[in-house]
Amino acid sequence: MLRETTVAIIGSGLAGISLALRLADQGVGCLILTKSKLASGSSVWAQGGIAAVLDPQDSFDSHIQDTLEAGAGLCHEAAVRTVVEGAPDAIRWLSHAGVHFDGEDASSQGLHLAREGGHSHRRVAHVADTTGRAVVNTLDRQILASPNISVLENHTAIDLIVGPVGRDSQRQGVAGLYALDGETGAVTTIHAQAVVLATGGASKAYLYTSNPDSSTGDGVAMAWRAGCSVANLEFVQFHPTCLYHPHAGNFLISEAVRGEGGKLLLPDGTPFMTSHDGRAELAPRDIVARAIDYEMKKGGHDCVYLDISHLGARQIKQHFPGIYERCLSFSIDITKEPVPVVPAAHYTCGGITTDLNGRTDLEGLYALGENAHTGLHGANRLASNSLLECIVFSERATPAILKYLESSSPIGPRPPDWDESQVSDPDELVVVAHNWDELRRFMWDYVGIVRTSRRLQRAANRLHLLHEEIRDFYSHFRVNRDLLELRNLVAVSELIVRCAAERRESRGLHFTQDFPSPVPGQRHDTVLRPAPKH
């Protein structure tokens, strides 16, 4: 089956849908592909909010400095300034779109601003503790009402199509993609003038994660296979406080809980963060996650505890209703008792290298959101800068894409259809399930919060074997979603390990016992480029 569109957007999180709305307002036809339903992806799960300088006592320079400090010397200052200075307009754009942020005092333009770890001021606009869901649901209503936007649900992107673009047959770029229809099992050829990767991160490579099952690194893997460079994938952010309960799945306890005075405690009730960092619970996430990891291993604890009960029942229920209700469903009353928490893989700070307009190395291919490396996050993302990045870069990418569409018109020749004439139905799908489990366990053990050169080499050896096994499986059998996601996770895991092995120092989220201190000479991005195709 063939589908044609002007712009194909892979991913239905905040980056993808905000770009689709902006392009649609300019009369551009967009097709959004999502692996499940429209309101899916990591953006929906974002609890904290969106950082922006809205308080007269705050300043752009302060927000920039906090971001640079969290990024441990690897942030690109131009990217940081671009995003920080675009933040107030991002909040206004969302408010105009119908997002109703929590409001209290007039000094902050009518918004209640929370404070989170790493921030020197209250600057996080939020909708209670379910900001991501509120924002995505609001914008999704506009997506469904737009005559210029189509949505293809239950479709998993397989690979990008690179070929002739525009009127010049010698001009090579991205001409579309292949996608698996999850309902019929058929592969659709999507012919597009431009393609945008907004697929989120790759935290599902780890055994414990706060992310939904869809976070399998699809965008990074597809871009790498198509010839794009990637950067800084060694920097995987582990959220310090994921609810520890056998039936809780991937539920986060928001950074804002610590921002409101929540204390981290050992099982015997002893606070411990002041012995790790002078900022205690308000230290950046990498420091808090390592502190918890250290205390759990030192004491042999399954978890630590986060206590917010001092705030009082009324304020807890007002500011953290989602967390309160979720914990209560597991018989944990956070107004009276501490919450058991553990760190979990949360955010991929590196990704596909882009410029400040979302352009990648390939003509006609753009990347936005968590699967992109814009230079904003450096070696560690500052809390609540991620949703902000999605909005600001969707605004910046819009004129760049419009200009490209004009220069590449008309759409190039039809790409070839998917060929599965040499494959058969898989006979041992259990292999995929077993490989998936093996990958997530050794990535957690060897490429987690604390690393060593030996652990990285062990991971590399296992990844090589998995890569060969999956390549053989992929070559001989019809694809399904599990196989495609595992193929992408293994590819991105190999890139994570390669980046980590190249960084022979500890910086930000990358901590190795062999090189426990930062090295000034390694204050640069870890950039990987695919080998040229012959």
* Pairing between β-strand 155-165 and β-strand 168-181 as defined by DSSP bridges: antiparallel
The 3-state DSSP class for residue 530 equals coil
In the beta sheet, which residues pair with residue 116? none
Q: Can you give the three-state secondary structure of 295-335, one letter per residue?
A: HHHHHCCCCEEEECHHHCHHHHHHHCHHHHHHHHCCCCCCC
Structure tokens at 45: 């799960």
d(CA 479, CA 158): 9
Indicate the DSSP class of residue 133.
H
Nearest-CA neighbor of 129 among 149, 139, 117, 114?
114
Question: Do 411 and 4 touch, CB atoms closer than 8 A?
Answer: yes
∠ CA 30-198-60, nearest 5°, is: 110
Chain centroid, CA 227 distance in Å: 21
Structure tokens at 493: 């895991």
d(CA 15, CA 246): 32
Greatest CA separation for the chain: 70
Positions annotated as catalytic residues are: 285
Q: What number of CA atoms fall less than 13 Å from residue 185's CA on the CB side?
A: 9
b/e per residue 83-118 (b: at least 16 CB within 10 A) = bbebbeebbebbeeeebebbeeeeebbebbbbbbbb
Question: Do 474 and 483 touch, CB atoms closer than 8 A?
Answer: yes
